[in-house]
Structure 1
Amino acid sequence: MSIGTPLMWTVFAIFVVIALLIDFFALTKQGAHTVSMKEATVWSLIWVGVSFVFVGLLWWYLGGTSGDATREALANGKALEFITGYLVEKALAVDNIFVFLMLFTYFGVPAAFQKRVLMIGILGALVLRAGMILVGAWLVTQFHWVMYVFGAFLVFTGIKMWWAAGQEPDLDNNPALRWINRHMKIAPSFDGERFFTRVNGVRMATPLFVVILLIGVVDVIFAVDSIPAIFAITTDPFIVLTSNVFAILGLRAMYFLLAGMHERFHLLSYGLAVVLVFIGTKMLLIDIYKIPVAWSLGVTVSVLVVTMLLSLRYPGKGGGAYPFPPKERRAGDA
């Protein structure tokens, strides 16, 4: 059952539209330019602040200060679910960011062009997750056993992420990229922020368009991972969707903030793997023992903090701002 009323859904939808318009307006006004660390930090703090203002207002609206024990318990529970879900999705978004970094580095996308690509990627993520959340909520409501499927999938994903952590992804043999190279004519170089150009009179897709397609694939993969994770925290569609959306809205600013920090937090993937296995186990035990949301929040925060501290204590072998050196070869060379 959802706490979302028509008024709450409407207000939330209006807020998301306004937030996206502000982001688009800022993108259009500034044009193609390299985002500074200061700008990325300010916007990241703004998005995090807005998220916690939202959960504060939600807590108040649900009766957090009403003096009614029942309403206060509901308000506290939903606020805790939102914060836990938000942190889990934010942590997964960080891993998403590092994949974006890999793609931008592999294709040598100029920093000035990356903002537009990220904005399109964020829109794709929002649409995909909204649709998958609606489908997931219906499945969980109609078929309880789906929770076990989600749980097993998360445990499998966590184990797979653990074994893949620390290994450099092989984009040269990536099935999606190989399919694109076989079915599209790719220009050998960028043409500003254009997605298509002409080379010797032949219309071709630019490497920037290839990056957009691959980011779409990444969006699908991470949506498949993140939706079961949030349903382990709560099955309330309103909390599931709002926590996901707020985690994604600040993704563009967070990318530029963390772009040079992959090596500093080189153990983060191991921490995310542990979190996913824990959450998956929680789902598998749902009919035996229901792990409190507060415990889930505590485990998630503890694992991520310990992972980051260990990363700083034991630096990776790299040291450059970009962990994946730009390839000499580009999409158009295939």
Structure 2
Amino acid sequence: MTVPLWLWVATVGGLLALIALDLVIVDRKPHEVTTGEAARWVIFYISCAVLFGIGLWFFAGQHPAVEFFTGYITEYSLSVDNLFIFMIIMSSFKVPAIHQHRVLLVGILLALAMRSVFIAVGAALIAQFVWVFFLFGAILVWTAVSMVRNKDEDEEYEENAVTRLVRKVFPVTEDYVGHKSFVKREGRRWITPMFVVIVAIGSADLLFAVDSIPAIFGITQDAFLVFTANAFALMGLRQLFFLLGGLVSKLVYLSYGLAVILGFIGAKLFLHALHEYDAVPDWLDINNWVSLGVIVVVLTITTVASLMKAKRDPESVHATGLDLHAEAPEEREAREAREEAR
């Protein structure tokens, strides 16, 4: 699909407008996002993605639209598995509930910016070298095997090299200072835990891109569709974090379902590469209607089976022990003042 520059500019501008709207409405006054509020925003972002896909269908045709919807569903489903890691990071850094939305917003914006670089590099490589499909396919198959193999291991957050480097280079305050990332004390600039956790979220999501970017390139090689599918999935991820909350732990079979999807897309990449070399017949080159059907069916079966298992055997649900409702210093002081007044 040929995408003119003005459409790129308009799309990026529209996404920035959505972010600005989010900042003005949700983050204007820091507060703990309620389930109802999160549900409304999730519906809003999903509706935006659906309208974008319908627009593609109307102006560009059926094929790009199906590729977008398939890529969007794949990226969104992979993001759900990442929510548990975000919860662990939030709990580890004891992020006050009223500031969690800003942390996710800025962290995911950083991740989208970095993913854009990956997408540009991946699109350029694919356009020049067919063997890249074999590489991406191998990454997905290896990730699928690793997800199944490590399914029962306990999830613990360990700061990555980027986060450790930030702590090494900059002095960090002991406590949060509102939603500020930088403060000046005694003539010296300090960073707050708010900045560190934003870096942790952004860099963690960048690691997740190792499987999500090859996965969507297995669905479409159009950089515009890859970027927009990633953008809409990430935009809705923040509110999904607050909507699902502890429900993520009930999706006990999610890793298996995602492993099946990644393995399927990995096999599709291998077949596509072989088809490019005329090594397999045309009917073995899996089309995106089949891909979309497989992904939707696998996710449906995984979700239903997980919820049934969690209801039948509550002990199978992972006990996260996460505290996502930490108080900000100003909240704690106000509460203590009210208690003293009584």
Q: Counterpart of 2:136 in structure 1: which amino acid? A: F
Separation in structure 2 between the aligned mates of residue 326 and residue 174 of structure 1, nearest angstrom: 21
Q: Is 2:96 aligned against 1:118?
A: no
Cα deviation, residue 52, structure 1? 0.7
Would you say the 8 A contact 2:85–2:157 is kept in 1?
no
Separation in structure 1 between the aligned mates of residue 129 and residue 197 of structure 2, nearest angstrom: 37
Deviation per CA, 1:48-94: give whole Å up to 9, x if none.
011111111111112xxxxxxxxxxxx12111111100000001111
Separation in structure 1 between the aligned mates of residue 244 and residue 155 of structure 2, nearest angstrom: 19
1:38-49 equivalence runs, <5 A: 38-49=36-47
Is the alpha carbon distance of 1:310 and 1:16 closer, same or farther for their aligned partners in structure 2, counting shifts above 3 Å?
same
Separation in structure 1 between the aligned mates of residue 236 and residue 84 of structure 2, nearest angstrom: 15
Separation in structure 2 between the aligned mates of residue 186 and residue 26 of structure 1, nearest angstrom: 30
Gapped runs of 5+ residues in structure 2? Answer: 275-279, 325-342
Is the alpha carbon distance of 1:201 and 1:302 closer, same or farther for their aligned partners in structure 2, counting shifts above 3 Å?
same
Is the alpha carbon distance of 1:148 and 1:168 closer, same or farther for their aligned partners in structure 2, counting shifts above 3 Å?
same
Cα deviation, residue 190, structure 1? 2.3
1:102 to 88, 96, 102: 88
Counterpart in the other structure of 2:337: none
Q: Counterpart of 1:307 in structure 2: which amino acid? A: T
Q: TM-score of the superposition, structure 2-length normalised? A: 0.83
Q: Is 2:191 aligned against 1:192?
A: no
Counterpart in the other structure of 1:310: 305
Deviation per CA, 1:246-273: give whole Å up to 9, x if none.
1111121111111221222132122112
Of 170-179 and 250-259, deviating more is 170-179
Q: TM-score of the superposition, structure 1-length normalised? A: 0.85
Counterpart in the other structure of 2:131: 145
Of 300-309 and 174-183, deviating more is 174-183
Separation in structure 2 between the aligned mates of residue 182 and residue 237 of structure 1, nearest angstrom: 36
Counterpart secondary structure, 2:2: coil
Of 10-19 and 230-239, deviating more is 10-19
Would you say the 8 A contact 2:88–2:156 is kept in 1?
no
Deviation per CA, 1:14-69: give whole Å up to 9, x if none.
2112112111222442x21000111100010011011111111111112xxxxxxx
Gapped runs of 5+ residues in structure 1? Answer: 63-74, 328-334
1:193-212 equivalence runs, <5 A: 193-197=179-183, 204-212=190-198
User: How many residue pairs align between the two structures?
Assistant: 312
Cα deviation, residue 237, structure 1? 1.5
Q: Is 2:293 aligned against 1:298?
A: yes
Deviation per CA, 1:265-321: give whole Å up to 9, x if none.
13212211221111111111212331111111111111111111111111153768x
Would you say the 8 A contact 1:32–1:112 is kept in 2?
yes
Separation in structure 1 between the aligned mates of residue 190 and residue 73 of structure 2, nearest angstrom: 41
Separation in structure 2 between the aligned mates of residue 196 and residue 173 of structure 1, nearest angstrom: 20
Q: Is 2:257 aligned against 1:271?
A: yes
Counterpart in the other structure of 1:59: 57
Would you say the 8 A contact 2:252–2:317 is kept in 1?
no
Would you say the 8 A contact 1:89–1:244 is kept in 2?
yes
Would you say the 8 A contact 2:3–2:224 is kept in 1?
yes
User: CA RMSD, aligned part only?
Assistant: 2.4
Separation in structure 1 between the aligned mates of residue 149 and residue 58 of structure 2, nearest angstrom: 43
Q: Counterpart of 2:255 in structure 1: which amino acid? A: S
Would you say the 8 A contact 1:187–1:205 is kept in 2?
yes
Cα deviation, residue 165, structure 1? 2.4
Is the alpha carbon distance of 1:121 and 1:172 closer, same or farther for their aligned partners in structure 2, counting shifts above 3 Å?
closer
1:146-185 equivalence runs, <5 A: 146-172=132-158, 184-185=170-171
